Structure 1
């Protein structure tokens, strides 16, 4: 089943907000209430949209194979191949994501499941709870083979939000996702990119590479009061360890 919607989220923020340290323990009831309030709106609000491109690529299916002769089709280095094999060997069964931690930017957040709204778009965490992130529950769970998607606000009208400093992550940084089965899926950041909305590489971001991967997404780029952010920040990471909680 293909998803044909955009992610809703970042609310008219101040792009010059100061860095924030977030340690969230918001109750699930608050998240549910906030999400219900968003879903009851008569229609989408421009000021409340992360506006990721449609999820038209199956995150659980293999990404398109590059044409012969292109750089992406060349054999991967031995270290990269070994990493891919290890990630595949560590792959976990499906289980709900419950908590996200990113030590490098001092982030701890509960995770709520996200689905599609009445307009066919992937919903975002409620703007009245900027310290919570959302996982696309109809795709792979973090640690499962496939590409798990996690989105969060950069900031809102009330100030900084959970993913304000997402673009500060670097290759080698760790992302921990605690799952309902009491396992922690540990991901290692491969790269961080900022894409203009018109140049967003759907297949690269959403597609399945054959191993358990994670994408963290939020707003980015320049900000305009009328149209919002011009780009999206995307963190690419892959599974490198599994811990028992």
Structure 2
């Protein structure tokens, strides 16, 4: 079905930029029949926190008042964000996708909970160890690329998502966090860029992740496809 790793099939290690360490173990990408393999157990983590944004290039610093900060000290850029509220629905109109969102945590053995496919696919899932959509940092939503019975998975068309497209997440408090797609990227599971994907960000961002690169010889997916998106101002 889906999921991602770094260095070996079935596991993912993602250090956050502020020194926090995120390690997810997700169900391995299975065959089109829906079978999956699981990697070693992960460790739990605190959600990544935001880092201070850099000053806007070309904007001069105001002159300090007597006794105030030095003239070359630029004011911090305030990045808009939203308070914490868990996501409930993901909507991507440009590819005709609307799905309820599960909250995926860690089991007692340290492995990540996986959406159950009862025969017609499973909804996408938000990893509840990441920020809620709209909070500073990368919020992580995962989805299967295939489903039981030869059906398409919820993220089967993720590759069709073009830069500039809107991705909306309805939150439990009734608000909507709308993101703009910046790019998509394909990564080999043996060289997954964990810091780039999961590292801290100055403002609210979104990561949509699924599997890619199915190898019929092994019945496994060798790659991950990642969508990067930022919260609209």
> For 1:204, what is the secondary structure of its paired residue?
helix
* TM-score, scaled to structure 1: 0.68
Structure 2 CA distance for aligned equivalents of residues 76 and 6 of structure 1: 38
Partner of 2:5: none
| CA displacement, residues 26-46 of structure 1 (integer Å, 9 cap, x when unaligned) | xxxxxxxxxxxxxxxxxxxx9
Q: 1:12 aligns with which of 25, 28, 31?
A: 31
> Structure 2: which 5+ runs fail to align?
1-19, 59-76
8 Å CA contact 2:121–2:153 kept in 1: the answer is: yes
Q: 1:194 to 1:119 in 2, by over 3 A?
A: farther
> For 2:23, what is the secondary structure of its paired residue?
coil
8 Å CA contact 2:31–2:219 kept in 1: the answer is: no
Partner of 1:124: 114
Partner of 1:137: 128
1:219 aligns with 2:211: yes
Partner of 1:203: 195
1:110 aligns with 2:100: yes
> Structure 1: which 5+ runs fail to align?
15-45, 64-72, 79-84
Q: 1:94 aligns with which of 84, 97, 112?
A: 84
| CA displacement, residues 19-76 of structure 1 (integer Å, 9 cap, x when unaligned) | xxxxxxxxxxxxxxxxxxxxxxxxxxx932587xx7899651358xxxxxxxxx9x98
Of residues 150-159 and 222-231 in structure 1, the stretch that sits farther from structure 2 once superposed is: 222-231
1:10: Cα distance to partner? 4.2
8 Å CA contact 1:213–1:237 kept in 2: the answer is: yes
Structure 1 CA distance for aligned equivalents of residues 82 and 30 of structure 2: 35
List aligned pairs for 1:178-197, cutoff 5 A: 178-197=170-189
1:221: Cα distance to partner? 1.5
List aligned pairs for 1:21-60, cutoff 5 A: 47-49=35-37, 59-60=47-48
Structure 1 CA distance for aligned equivalents of residues 83 and 181 of structure 2: 22
8 Å CA contact 1:143–1:185 kept in 2: the answer is: yes
List aligned pairs for 1:226-237, cutoff 5 A: 226-237=218-229
Partner of 1:42: none
> For 2:195, what is the secondary structure of its paired residue?
helix
Structure 1 CA distance for aligned equivalents of residues 218 and 138 of structure 2: 32
Structure 2 CA distance for aligned equivalents of residues 107 and 218 of structure 1: 14
Structure 1 CA distance for aligned equivalents of residues 22 and 57 of structure 2: 33
Partner of 2:141: 150
Q: 1:96 to 1:112 in 2, by over 3 A?
A: same
Of residues 143-152 and 156-165 in structure 1, the stretch that sits farther from structure 2 once superposed is: 156-165
1:156: Cα distance to partner? 2.1
1:3: Cα distance to partner? 3.7
TM-align CA RMSD? 3.0
Structure 1 CA distance for aligned equivalents of residues 47 and 56 of structure 2: 22
Larger radius of gyration: 2
* TM-score, scaled to structure 2: 0.71
Partner of 1:29: none
Structure 1 CA distance for aligned equivalents of residues 56 and 30 of structure 2: 40
8 Å CA contact 1:100–1:176 kept in 2: the answer is: yes
